[in-house]
A and B are shown apart, each in its own frame.
Chain A
Amino acid sequence: MKTLFAPNAQPPRLLFTTMVAGQVALLLLVWLFYPMQLFPSLGEVFRSLGDLITTQGLIQELWASMTTALQALAIATVLALGISYLTALPFFRPIAYAASKMRYLTLTGLTFFMALMVSSGHQVKLSVLIFGATVYLVTGMTSVILTTTQEEMDHARTLGMGEWRSFWEVVVLGKLDEMLEVVRQNFAIIWTMITLVETLYQSEGGIGLLLYKQNRYLHLDGVLAIQLVILATGAAQDYVFVLLRRVFFPYSSLGTA
Protein backbone atom coordinates (compact mmCIF):
# COMPACT_ATOMS: atom_id res chain seq x y z
CA MET A 1 0.00 0.00 0.00
CA LYS A 2 2.86 2.33 0.88
CA THR A 3 4.07 2.25 -2.73
CA LEU A 4 0.83 3.93 -3.86
CA PHE A 5 1.86 7.09 -2.05
CA ALA A 6 5.65 6.96 -2.51
CA PRO A 7 7.08 9.28 -5.20
CA ASN A 8 8.14 7.51 -8.42
CA ALA A 9 7.22 4.12 -6.93
CA GLN A 10 6.31 1.14 -9.14
CA PRO A 11 3.46 -0.64 -7.32
CA PRO A 12 2.79 -4.32 -8.19
CA ARG A 13 0.44 -4.73 -11.17
CA LEU A 14 -2.29 -6.44 -9.15
CA LEU A 15 -2.24 -3.74 -6.49
CA PHE A 16 -2.43 -1.00 -9.12
CA THR A 17 -5.35 -2.68 -10.95
CA THR A 18 -7.22 -3.14 -7.67
CA MET A 19 -6.64 0.53 -6.84
CA VAL A 20 -8.04 1.67 -10.22
CA ALA A 21 -11.08 -0.62 -9.86
CA GLY A 22 -11.64 0.76 -6.36
CA GLN A 23 -11.49 4.36 -7.56
CA VAL A 24 -14.00 3.65 -10.36
CA ALA A 25 -16.34 1.85 -7.95
CA LEU A 26 -16.12 4.77 -5.51
CA LEU A 27 -16.97 7.23 -8.26
CA LEU A 28 -20.00 5.17 -9.30
CA LEU A 29 -21.15 4.84 -5.70
CA VAL A 30 -20.92 8.58 -5.17
CA TRP A 31 -22.85 9.10 -8.37
CA LEU A 32 -25.51 6.54 -7.32
CA PHE A 33 -26.13 7.86 -3.84
CA TYR A 34 -25.22 11.54 -3.92
CA PRO A 35 -28.49 13.44 -3.62
CA MET A 36 -27.74 16.24 -6.08
CA GLN A 37 -30.86 17.47 -7.84
CA LEU A 38 -29.21 19.04 -10.86
CA PHE A 39 -27.00 16.16 -11.80
CA PRO A 40 -28.83 13.26 -13.51
CA SER A 41 -28.61 9.88 -11.86
CA LEU A 42 -26.67 6.97 -13.32
CA GLY A 43 -29.91 5.19 -14.19
CA GLU A 44 -31.24 8.21 -16.04
CA VAL A 45 -28.04 8.53 -18.05
CA PHE A 46 -28.16 4.86 -19.04
CA ARG A 47 -31.84 5.12 -20.01
CA SER A 48 -31.07 8.22 -22.06
CA LEU A 49 -28.15 6.44 -23.71
CA GLY A 50 -30.46 3.58 -24.74
CA ASP A 51 -32.97 6.06 -26.08
CA LEU A 52 -30.32 7.96 -28.03
CA ILE A 53 -29.09 4.72 -29.61
CA THR A 54 -32.50 3.31 -30.51
CA THR A 55 -34.47 6.38 -31.52
CA GLN A 56 -31.93 9.09 -32.45
CA GLY A 57 -29.23 7.05 -34.22
CA LEU A 58 -26.38 7.84 -31.82
CA ILE A 59 -24.14 5.13 -33.29
CA GLN A 60 -24.66 6.35 -36.88
CA GLU A 61 -24.05 9.96 -35.81
CA LEU A 62 -20.93 8.91 -33.93
CA TRP A 63 -19.71 7.02 -37.00
CA ALA A 64 -20.37 10.06 -39.23
CA SER A 65 -18.41 12.32 -36.88
CA MET A 66 -15.63 9.81 -36.47
CA THR A 67 -15.09 9.32 -40.21
CA THR A 68 -15.00 13.10 -40.68
CA ALA A 69 -12.57 13.43 -37.76
CA LEU A 70 -10.29 10.69 -39.11
CA GLN A 71 -10.39 12.18 -42.59
CA ALA A 72 -9.47 15.61 -41.20
CA LEU A 73 -6.76 14.13 -38.99
CA ALA A 74 -5.16 12.22 -41.87
CA ILE A 75 -5.01 15.28 -44.13
CA ALA A 76 -3.92 17.58 -41.28
CA THR A 77 -1.14 15.16 -40.29
CA VAL A 78 0.27 15.06 -43.82
CA LEU A 79 0.08 18.86 -44.08
CA ALA A 80 1.59 19.44 -40.64
CA LEU A 81 4.43 16.97 -41.24
CA GLY A 82 5.21 18.69 -44.53
CA ILE A 83 5.19 22.18 -42.98
CA SER A 84 7.23 21.04 -39.96
CA TYR A 85 9.86 19.17 -41.98
CA LEU A 86 10.22 22.15 -44.29
CA THR A 87 11.51 24.18 -41.32
CA ALA A 88 14.86 22.58 -42.20
CA LEU A 89 14.93 25.19 -44.96
CA PRO A 90 15.15 28.74 -43.57
CA PHE A 91 12.82 29.97 -46.36
CA PHE A 92 9.89 28.01 -44.91
CA ARG A 93 10.47 28.80 -41.22
CA PRO A 94 8.18 31.87 -41.20
CA ILE A 95 5.37 29.70 -42.63
CA ALA A 96 5.68 27.17 -39.80
CA TYR A 97 5.88 30.02 -37.28
CA ALA A 98 2.77 31.68 -38.72
CA ALA A 99 0.90 28.34 -38.91
CA SER A 100 1.68 27.69 -35.28
CA LYS A 101 0.41 31.11 -34.19
CA MET A 102 -2.85 30.62 -36.13
CA ARG A 103 -4.12 28.35 -33.39
CA TYR A 104 -5.26 31.53 -31.65
CA LEU A 105 -7.81 32.22 -34.40
CA THR A 106 -11.41 31.46 -33.52
CA LEU A 107 -13.24 28.84 -35.54
CA THR A 108 -16.47 30.79 -35.74
CA GLY A 109 -14.71 33.58 -37.61
CA LEU A 110 -12.96 31.10 -39.84
CA THR A 111 -16.01 29.22 -41.02
CA PHE A 112 -17.27 32.33 -42.83
CA PHE A 113 -14.12 32.52 -44.93
CA MET A 114 -14.13 28.78 -45.53
CA ALA A 115 -17.76 28.97 -46.70
CA LEU A 116 -16.75 31.56 -49.28
CA MET A 117 -13.91 29.38 -50.56
CA VAL A 118 -15.50 25.92 -50.79
CA SER A 119 -18.86 24.78 -52.13
CA SER A 120 -20.52 22.17 -49.88
CA GLY A 121 -21.25 22.14 -46.18
CA HIS A 122 -19.18 18.99 -45.77
CA GLN A 123 -16.21 20.71 -47.39
CA VAL A 124 -16.55 23.68 -45.04
CA LYS A 125 -16.70 21.37 -42.04
CA LEU A 126 -13.73 19.37 -43.24
CA SER A 127 -11.60 22.38 -44.15
CA VAL A 128 -12.24 24.04 -40.77
CA LEU A 129 -11.26 20.84 -38.98
CA ILE A 130 -8.17 20.40 -41.14
CA PHE A 131 -7.13 23.98 -40.51
CA GLY A 132 -7.72 23.73 -36.77
CA ALA A 133 -5.89 20.42 -36.42
CA THR A 134 -3.00 21.44 -38.69
CA VAL A 135 -2.10 24.52 -36.67
CA TYR A 136 -2.04 22.54 -33.44
CA LEU A 137 -0.10 19.67 -35.02
CA VAL A 138 2.47 22.05 -36.53
CA THR A 139 3.05 23.53 -33.06
CA GLY A 140 3.67 20.10 -31.53
CA MET A 141 5.67 18.74 -34.43
CA THR A 142 8.02 21.71 -34.74
CA SER A 143 8.72 21.51 -31.02
CA VAL A 144 9.65 17.83 -31.50
CA ILE A 145 11.98 18.80 -34.35
CA LEU A 146 13.53 21.51 -32.16
CA THR A 147 14.58 18.87 -29.63
CA THR A 148 17.12 17.58 -32.17
CA THR A 149 20.57 18.07 -30.70
CA GLN A 150 23.82 18.99 -32.38
CA GLU A 151 25.21 15.67 -31.12
CA GLU A 152 22.53 13.74 -33.02
CA MET A 153 23.16 15.62 -36.25
CA ASP A 154 26.95 15.42 -35.86
CA HIS A 155 26.64 11.68 -35.33
CA ALA A 156 24.92 11.26 -38.68
CA ARG A 157 27.35 13.63 -40.41
CA THR A 158 30.40 11.76 -39.12
CA LEU A 159 29.01 8.65 -40.77
CA GLY A 160 29.41 10.48 -44.06
CA MET A 161 25.73 11.36 -44.45
CA GLY A 162 24.95 14.58 -46.30
CA GLU A 163 22.68 17.22 -44.76
CA TRP A 164 19.43 15.84 -46.26
CA ARG A 165 20.35 12.25 -45.46
CA SER A 166 21.24 13.27 -41.89
CA PHE A 167 17.91 15.10 -41.62
CA TRP A 168 16.07 12.02 -42.93
CA GLU A 169 17.84 9.70 -40.51
CA VAL A 170 17.79 11.85 -37.37
CA VAL A 171 14.70 14.04 -37.70
CA VAL A 172 12.33 12.10 -39.96
CA LEU A 173 13.04 8.44 -39.10
CA GLY A 174 14.41 9.15 -35.64
CA LYS A 175 11.42 11.13 -34.45
CA LEU A 176 8.50 9.39 -36.19
CA ASP A 177 7.40 7.84 -32.90
CA GLU A 178 7.28 11.24 -31.25
CA MET A 179 5.30 12.61 -34.21
CA LEU A 180 2.73 9.85 -33.70
CA GLU A 181 2.51 10.91 -30.07
CA VAL A 182 1.86 14.51 -31.15
CA VAL A 183 -0.95 13.25 -33.44
CA ARG A 184 -2.42 11.21 -30.58
CA GLN A 185 -2.39 14.16 -28.18
CA ASN A 186 -3.93 16.54 -30.71
CA PHE A 187 -6.68 14.19 -31.89
CA ALA A 188 -8.67 15.41 -28.90
CA ILE A 189 -8.64 18.92 -30.40
CA ILE A 190 -10.56 17.59 -33.42
CA TRP A 191 -13.27 16.20 -31.14
CA THR A 192 -13.58 19.57 -29.43
CA MET A 193 -13.86 21.32 -32.77
CA ILE A 194 -16.15 18.84 -34.47
CA THR A 195 -18.95 19.37 -32.00
CA LEU A 196 -18.77 23.10 -32.65
CA VAL A 197 -18.53 22.81 -36.44
CA GLU A 198 -21.42 20.34 -36.64
CA THR A 199 -23.70 22.81 -34.92
CA LEU A 200 -22.74 25.47 -37.45
CA TYR A 201 -23.33 23.13 -40.44
CA GLN A 202 -26.25 20.96 -39.43
CA SER A 203 -27.10 19.38 -42.80
CA GLU A 204 -24.91 16.31 -42.24
CA GLY A 205 -25.82 15.65 -38.62
CA GLY A 206 -23.12 14.17 -36.44
CA ILE A 207 -22.67 13.66 -32.72
CA GLY A 208 -22.02 17.38 -32.25
CA LEU A 209 -25.48 18.22 -33.54
CA LEU A 210 -27.01 15.57 -31.32
CA LEU A 211 -25.22 17.07 -28.32
CA TYR A 212 -26.35 20.54 -29.30
CA LYS A 213 -30.00 19.41 -29.43
CA GLN A 214 -29.78 17.71 -26.03
CA ASN A 215 -28.24 20.86 -24.61
CA ARG A 216 -30.83 23.08 -26.16
CA TYR A 217 -33.75 21.16 -24.64
CA LEU A 218 -31.93 20.84 -21.30
CA HIS A 219 -31.76 17.04 -21.48
CA LEU A 220 -28.88 16.81 -19.07
CA ASP A 221 -29.03 13.03 -18.96
CA GLY A 222 -28.69 12.96 -22.76
CA VAL A 223 -25.83 15.49 -22.67
CA LEU A 224 -23.99 13.39 -20.12
CA ALA A 225 -24.62 10.19 -22.07
CA ILE A 226 -23.18 11.69 -25.26
CA GLN A 227 -20.20 13.15 -23.38
CA LEU A 228 -19.50 9.72 -21.92
CA VAL A 229 -19.69 8.16 -25.39
CA ILE A 230 -17.21 10.77 -26.70
CA LEU A 231 -14.98 10.12 -23.70
CA ALA A 232 -15.05 6.36 -24.28
CA THR A 233 -14.36 6.84 -28.01
CA GLY A 234 -11.42 9.11 -27.20
CA ALA A 235 -10.01 6.62 -24.71
CA ALA A 236 -10.34 3.82 -27.30
CA GLN A 237 -8.57 5.99 -29.89
CA ASP A 238 -5.79 6.74 -27.42
CA TYR A 239 -5.38 3.03 -26.82
CA VAL A 240 -5.19 2.34 -30.57
CA PHE A 241 -2.49 5.00 -30.95
CA VAL A 242 -0.49 3.52 -28.06
CA LEU A 243 -0.84 0.11 -29.68
CA LEU A 244 0.34 1.47 -33.05
CA ARG A 245 3.33 3.07 -31.35
CA ARG A 246 4.21 -0.19 -29.63
CA VAL A 247 3.91 -2.19 -32.87
CA PHE A 248 5.66 0.17 -35.27
CA PHE A 249 8.13 1.82 -32.89
CA PRO A 250 9.05 -0.82 -30.31
CA TYR A 251 12.15 1.16 -29.26
CA SER A 252 10.01 4.13 -28.31
CA SER A 253 9.29 3.27 -24.67
CA LEU A 254 12.62 1.57 -23.90
CA GLY A 255 14.37 4.61 -22.50
CA THR A 256 11.46 5.93 -20.39
CA ALA A 257 11.39 5.69 -16.60
Chain B
Amino acid sequence: MTTHTHAYKDPVLTLNGVSMSFNNELVLRDINAQILDITRPKMHQGQVVGFYGRSGIGKSVLCRIMAGLIPPSAGTVEVGLAQQPARPGMVGFVQQRYPLFDHRTLYDNLLVAAERKHAPEVARQHVESYLERFCLAPHHKKYPAHLSGGQRQRAAIAQQLLCSEHLILLDEPFSGLDVAMIDEVKRIIVEVTTMDELNTVIIVSHDIVTTTALADRLWLLGYEHDAAGALVPGATISPQHQYNLAEMGLAWHENVEAEPEFGQFVEHIKNEIRVSA
Protein backbone atom coordinates (compact mmCIF):
# COMPACT_ATOMS: atom_id res chain seq x y z
CA MET B 1 0.00 0.00 0.00
CA THR B 2 1.59 3.28 -1.19
CA THR B 3 0.14 6.72 -0.59
CA HIS B 4 0.99 9.06 -3.47
CA THR B 5 1.66 12.72 -2.74
CA HIS B 6 -1.40 14.77 -3.56
CA ALA B 7 -3.24 17.93 -2.58
CA TYR B 8 -6.78 19.27 -2.92
CA LYS B 9 -7.81 22.54 -4.54
CA ASP B 10 -11.19 23.99 -5.50
CA PRO B 11 -14.47 22.08 -5.61
CA VAL B 12 -15.63 20.89 -9.05
CA LEU B 13 -19.00 19.47 -7.99
CA THR B 14 -20.98 19.93 -4.79
CA LEU B 15 -24.11 18.10 -3.69
CA ASN B 16 -25.67 20.08 -0.91
CA GLY B 17 -28.53 18.47 1.01
CA VAL B 18 -30.00 16.82 -2.09
CA SER B 19 -33.30 15.03 -1.59
CA MET B 20 -35.69 13.67 -4.19
CA SER B 21 -39.28 12.48 -3.90
CA PHE B 22 -41.67 11.04 -6.46
CA ASN B 23 -45.37 11.04 -5.58
CA ASN B 24 -44.53 11.71 -1.93
CA GLU B 25 -42.17 8.74 -1.87
CA LEU B 26 -38.72 9.75 -0.69
CA VAL B 27 -36.08 8.19 -2.95
CA LEU B 28 -32.97 10.17 -1.97
CA ARG B 29 -32.52 11.93 1.37
CA ASP B 30 -30.18 14.77 2.32
CA ILE B 31 -27.16 13.78 0.23
CA ASN B 32 -24.01 15.80 0.80
CA ALA B 33 -20.82 15.23 -1.15
CA GLN B 34 -18.11 17.42 -2.61
CA ILE B 35 -15.66 16.55 -5.36
CA LEU B 36 -12.44 18.56 -5.11
CA ASP B 37 -9.82 19.15 -7.78
CA ILE B 38 -7.00 16.84 -6.85
CA THR B 39 -3.40 17.66 -7.80
CA ARG B 40 -0.27 15.53 -7.98
CA PRO B 41 3.23 16.86 -8.59
CA LYS B 42 4.56 16.89 -12.20
CA MET B 43 1.47 15.37 -13.78
CA HIS B 44 -2.08 16.03 -14.92
CA GLN B 45 -4.25 14.20 -12.44
CA GLY B 46 -7.97 14.43 -12.92
CA GLN B 47 -10.45 12.91 -10.52
CA VAL B 48 -12.26 9.58 -10.56
CA VAL B 49 -14.93 9.37 -7.92
CA GLY B 50 -17.42 6.60 -7.31
CA PHE B 51 -20.95 6.55 -6.05
CA TYR B 52 -21.78 3.01 -5.09
CA GLY B 53 -25.32 1.81 -4.44
CA ARG B 54 -27.35 -1.37 -4.73
CA SER B 55 -29.68 -1.90 -7.68
CA GLY B 56 -32.90 0.10 -7.39
CA ILE B 57 -31.59 2.42 -4.68
CA GLY B 58 -31.92 5.57 -6.82
CA LYS B 59 -28.54 5.81 -8.54
CA SER B 60 -30.00 6.75 -11.91
CA VAL B 61 -32.11 9.46 -10.24
CA LEU B 62 -28.94 10.81 -8.62
CA CYS B 63 -27.24 10.75 -12.04
CA ARG B 64 -30.05 12.75 -13.63
CA ILE B 65 -29.91 15.27 -10.78
CA MET B 66 -26.12 15.67 -11.07
CA ALA B 67 -26.45 16.05 -14.86
CA GLY B 68 -28.94 18.86 -14.30
CA LEU B 69 -31.70 16.96 -16.09
CA ILE B 70 -34.10 17.10 -13.15
CA PRO B 71 -34.05 19.51 -10.23
CA PRO B 72 -33.91 17.89 -6.78
CA SER B 73 -36.95 18.24 -4.51
CA ALA B 74 -34.61 19.86 -2.00
CA GLY B 75 -30.95 20.91 -1.97
CA THR B 76 -28.60 22.10 -4.68
CA VAL B 77 -26.06 20.78 -7.15
CA GLU B 78 -23.25 23.16 -8.05
CA VAL B 79 -20.71 22.41 -10.76
CA GLY B 80 -17.45 23.78 -12.13
CA LEU B 81 -14.84 26.01 -10.55
CA ALA B 82 -17.45 28.80 -10.50
CA GLN B 83 -19.85 26.46 -8.62
CA GLN B 84 -22.87 27.31 -10.76
CA PRO B 85 -26.21 25.48 -10.41
CA ALA B 86 -26.19 22.35 -12.60
CA ARG B 87 -27.93 22.73 -15.95
CA PRO B 88 -28.19 20.19 -18.80
CA GLY B 89 -25.00 20.28 -20.85
CA MET B 90 -22.70 21.31 -18.00
CA VAL B 91 -21.99 17.73 -16.97
CA GLY B 92 -21.42 15.12 -19.66
CA PHE B 93 -23.66 12.16 -18.96
CA VAL B 94 -23.05 8.76 -20.53
CA GLN B 95 -26.13 6.68 -19.92
CA GLN B 96 -26.16 2.93 -19.43
CA ARG B 97 -26.83 1.94 -23.03
CA TYR B 98 -24.37 4.45 -24.53
CA PRO B 99 -26.89 6.36 -26.67
CA LEU B 100 -25.72 8.03 -29.87
CA PHE B 101 -27.74 9.64 -32.66
CA ASP B 102 -28.49 6.64 -34.86
CA HIS B 103 -29.24 8.86 -37.87
CA ARG B 104 -25.75 10.41 -37.85
CA THR B 105 -22.42 8.85 -38.72
CA LEU B 106 -19.84 8.57 -35.96
CA TYR B 107 -18.05 11.66 -37.29
CA ASP B 108 -21.29 13.66 -37.35
CA ASN B 109 -22.19 12.44 -33.86
CA LEU B 110 -18.96 13.89 -32.54
CA LEU B 111 -19.19 17.02 -34.67
CA VAL B 112 -22.71 17.88 -33.49
CA ALA B 113 -21.37 17.73 -29.92
CA ALA B 114 -18.18 19.69 -30.63
CA GLU B 115 -20.13 22.42 -32.42
CA ARG B 116 -22.04 23.09 -29.20
CA LYS B 117 -18.81 24.47 -27.76
CA HIS B 118 -16.52 25.46 -30.65
CA ALA B 119 -16.64 27.29 -33.99
CA PRO B 120 -17.11 24.88 -36.96
CA GLU B 121 -13.43 24.75 -38.03
CA VAL B 122 -12.11 24.29 -34.49
CA ALA B 123 -14.87 21.74 -33.84
CA ARG B 124 -13.68 19.66 -36.80
CA GLN B 125 -10.10 19.73 -35.50
CA HIS B 126 -11.28 18.60 -32.06
CA VAL B 127 -13.33 15.78 -33.57
CA GLU B 128 -10.37 14.52 -35.60
CA SER B 129 -8.13 14.63 -32.54
CA TYR B 130 -10.68 12.72 -30.42
CA LEU B 131 -11.20 10.14 -33.16
CA GLU B 132 -7.47 9.43 -33.07
CA ARG B 133 -7.22 9.48 -29.29
CA PHE B 134 -10.11 7.06 -28.84
CA CYS B 135 -8.94 4.76 -31.69
CA LEU B 136 -12.10 5.49 -33.67
CA ALA B 137 -10.63 7.13 -36.78
CA PRO B 138 -11.06 4.06 -39.06
CA HIS B 139 -14.76 3.95 -38.17
CA HIS B 140 -15.65 7.63 -38.59
CA LYS B 141 -17.98 7.02 -41.55
CA LYS B 142 -19.94 4.25 -39.84
CA TYR B 143 -23.39 4.66 -38.34
CA PRO B 144 -23.79 3.71 -34.64
CA ALA B 145 -25.60 0.49 -35.58
CA HIS B 146 -22.38 -0.67 -37.26
CA LEU B 147 -20.15 -0.03 -34.24
CA SER B 148 -19.15 -2.75 -31.79
CA GLY B 149 -20.05 -2.39 -28.10
CA GLY B 150 -16.58 -1.10 -27.21
CA GLN B 151 -16.49 1.36 -30.11
CA ARG B 152 -19.92 2.63 -29.14
CA GLN B 153 -18.80 3.18 -25.54
CA ARG B 154 -15.72 5.10 -26.64
CA ALA B 155 -17.81 7.15 -29.05
CA ALA B 156 -20.40 8.01 -26.36
CA ILE B 157 -17.70 9.08 -23.92
CA ALA B 158 -15.86 11.11 -26.59
CA GLN B 159 -19.12 12.79 -27.60
CA GLN B 160 -19.84 13.91 -24.05
CA LEU B 161 -16.26 15.04 -23.46
CA LEU B 162 -16.36 17.19 -26.60
CA CYS B 163 -19.01 19.44 -25.18
CA SER B 164 -18.90 19.13 -21.39
CA GLU B 165 -16.97 21.30 -18.98
CA HIS B 166 -14.47 18.66 -17.77
CA LEU B 167 -17.08 16.70 -15.81
CA ILE B 168 -18.34 13.40 -17.11
CA LEU B 169 -20.82 11.14 -15.41
CA LEU B 170 -20.94 7.41 -16.22
CA ASP B 171 -24.08 5.52 -15.23
CA GLU B 172 -23.29 1.83 -14.67
CA PRO B 173 -20.36 1.78 -17.12
CA PHE B 174 -19.43 -1.85 -16.30
CA SER B 175 -22.89 -3.33 -16.38
CA GLY B 176 -23.13 -6.44 -18.54
CA LEU B 177 -19.53 -6.24 -19.80
CA ASP B 178 -17.03 -9.07 -19.99
CA VAL B 179 -13.57 -8.84 -18.38
CA ALA B 180 -11.86 -7.57 -21.54
CA MET B 181 -14.47 -4.88 -22.05
CA ILE B 182 -14.23 -3.79 -18.41
CA ASP B 183 -10.46 -3.40 -18.86
CA GLU B 184 -11.12 -1.33 -21.98
CA VAL B 185 -13.52 0.99 -20.10
CA LYS B 186 -11.01 1.30 -17.24
CA ARG B 187 -8.32 2.26 -19.74
CA ILE B 188 -10.57 4.93 -21.25
CA ILE B 189 -11.40 6.37 -17.82
CA VAL B 190 -7.71 6.61 -16.86
CA GLU B 191 -6.97 8.17 -20.27
CA VAL B 192 -9.73 10.77 -19.77
CA THR B 193 -8.52 11.75 -16.29
CA THR B 194 -4.94 12.26 -17.47
CA MET B 195 -5.98 14.41 -20.46
CA ASP B 196 -6.66 17.49 -18.35
CA GLU B 197 -6.05 18.48 -14.74
CA LEU B 198 -9.73 19.36 -14.28
CA ASN B 199 -11.22 16.32 -15.97
CA THR B 200 -13.41 14.49 -13.51
CA VAL B 201 -15.07 11.13 -14.08
CA ILE B 202 -17.97 10.29 -11.80
CA ILE B 203 -18.80 6.60 -11.80
CA VAL B 204 -22.22 5.62 -10.50
CA SER B 205 -22.28 1.87 -10.25
CA HIS B 206 -23.16 -1.24 -8.31
CA ASP B 207 -19.86 -2.88 -9.31
CA ILE B 208 -17.96 -2.35 -6.08
CA VAL B 209 -14.60 -3.91 -7.09
CA THR B 210 -14.11 -2.11 -10.41
CA THR B 211 -15.39 1.22 -9.09
CA THR B 212 -13.12 1.08 -6.04
CA ALA B 213 -10.11 0.09 -8.15
CA LEU B 214 -10.47 3.22 -10.27
CA ALA B 215 -11.67 5.81 -7.79
CA ASP B 216 -9.74 8.17 -5.54
CA ARG B 217 -12.93 8.86 -3.55
CA LEU B 218 -15.95 6.71 -2.88
CA TRP B 219 -19.38 7.41 -1.51
CA LEU B 220 -21.70 4.64 -0.46
CA LEU B 221 -25.43 5.11 -0.94
CA GLY B 222 -27.51 3.22 1.59
CA TYR B 223 -30.34 3.37 4.08
CA GLU B 224 -30.07 4.44 7.70
CA HIS B 225 -31.95 3.05 10.67
CA ASP B 226 -33.63 5.15 13.35
CA ALA B 227 -33.16 4.69 17.10
CA ALA B 228 -35.84 1.98 17.14
CA GLY B 229 -34.01 0.10 14.39
CA ALA B 230 -36.57 0.85 11.68
CA LEU B 231 -35.41 1.75 8.16
CA VAL B 232 -35.50 5.50 7.42
CA PRO B 233 -36.99 6.11 3.95
CA GLY B 234 -34.74 7.52 1.24
CA ALA B 235 -31.21 6.46 0.39
CA THR B 236 -28.47 8.70 1.70
CA ILE B 237 -24.70 8.90 2.25
CA SER B 238 -23.84 8.54 5.94
CA PRO B 239 -20.71 10.32 7.22
CA GLN B 240 -19.06 6.92 7.85
CA HIS B 241 -19.73 5.91 4.24
CA GLN B 242 -17.45 8.50 2.64
CA TYR B 243 -14.05 7.06 1.76
CA ASN B 244 -10.96 8.96 0.66
CA LEU B 245 -9.12 6.23 -1.20
CA ALA B 246 -6.19 8.53 -2.05
CA GLU B 247 -5.49 9.07 1.62
CA MET B 248 -6.05 5.40 2.36
CA GLY B 249 -3.28 4.58 -0.13
CA LEU B 250 -5.61 2.72 -2.49
CA ALA B 251 -5.68 5.18 -5.39
CA TRP B 252 -3.65 5.32 -8.64
CA HIS B 253 -2.09 1.87 -8.24
CA GLU B 254 -1.51 -0.10 -11.43
CA ASN B 255 -2.86 -3.41 -10.10
CA VAL B 256 -4.61 -2.41 -6.91
CA GLU B 257 -7.04 -5.35 -7.00
CA ALA B 258 -4.12 -7.69 -6.19
CA GLU B 259 -3.21 -5.81 -3.00
CA PRO B 260 -4.43 -7.39 0.28
CA GLU B 261 -5.53 -3.99 1.65
CA PHE B 262 -7.79 -3.54 -1.34
CA GLY B 263 -9.43 -6.92 -0.72
CA GLN B 264 -9.94 -6.08 2.95
CA PHE B 265 -11.48 -2.71 2.04
CA VAL B 266 -13.87 -4.26 -0.47
CA GLU B 267 -14.87 -6.82 2.18
CA HIS B 268 -15.51 -3.97 4.63
CA ILE B 269 -17.71 -2.18 2.08
CA LYS B 270 -19.67 -5.36 1.44
CA ASN B 271 -20.31 -5.75 5.16
CA GLU B 272 -21.48 -2.15 5.38
CA ILE B 273 -23.91 -2.78 2.52
CA ARG B 274 -25.26 -5.91 4.22
CA VAL B 275 -25.80 -4.00 7.46
CA SER B 276 -27.58 -1.09 5.79
CA ALA B 277 -29.90 -3.33 3.74
Contacts and interface: CB of A to CB of B under 8 A. Distances in A.
A43 interface: no
B187 interface: no
A238 interface: no
B103 A155 contact: no
Contact of B116 (A161, A173, A174, A249): A161
A157 B69 contact: yes
A174 B143 contact: no
Interface residues of B, number: 28
Residue with the greatest number of chain A CB neighbours at <10 A, chosen from B88, B113, B159? B88
B88 A158 contact: yes
Contacts of A255: 102, 145
B95 A155 contact: yes
Given A154-B93, A254-B146, A159 B160 contact: yes
Contacts of B164: 158
A169 B112 contact: yes
Residue with the greatest number of chain A CB neighbours at <10 A, chosen from B95, B97, B100? B95
Contacts, number: 62
Contacts of A173: 101, 103
B101 A160 contact: no
A198 interface: no
Contact of A169 (B95, B101, B163): B101
Given A251-B103, A254-B145, 18 more contacts: A154-B67, A154-B93, A154-B95, A155-B95, A155-B101, A158-B89, A158-B160, A159-B112, A159-B116, A160-B90, A169-B101, A173-B103, A174-B101, A251-B143, A251-B145, A254-B143, A254-B146, A255-B102
Top-6 shortest CB links A-B: A160-B89, A254-B145, A157-B88, A251-B143, A158-B93, A155-B99
7 contacts: A158-B69, A159-B159, A161-B89, A173-B103, A251-B144, A255-B102, A255-B145
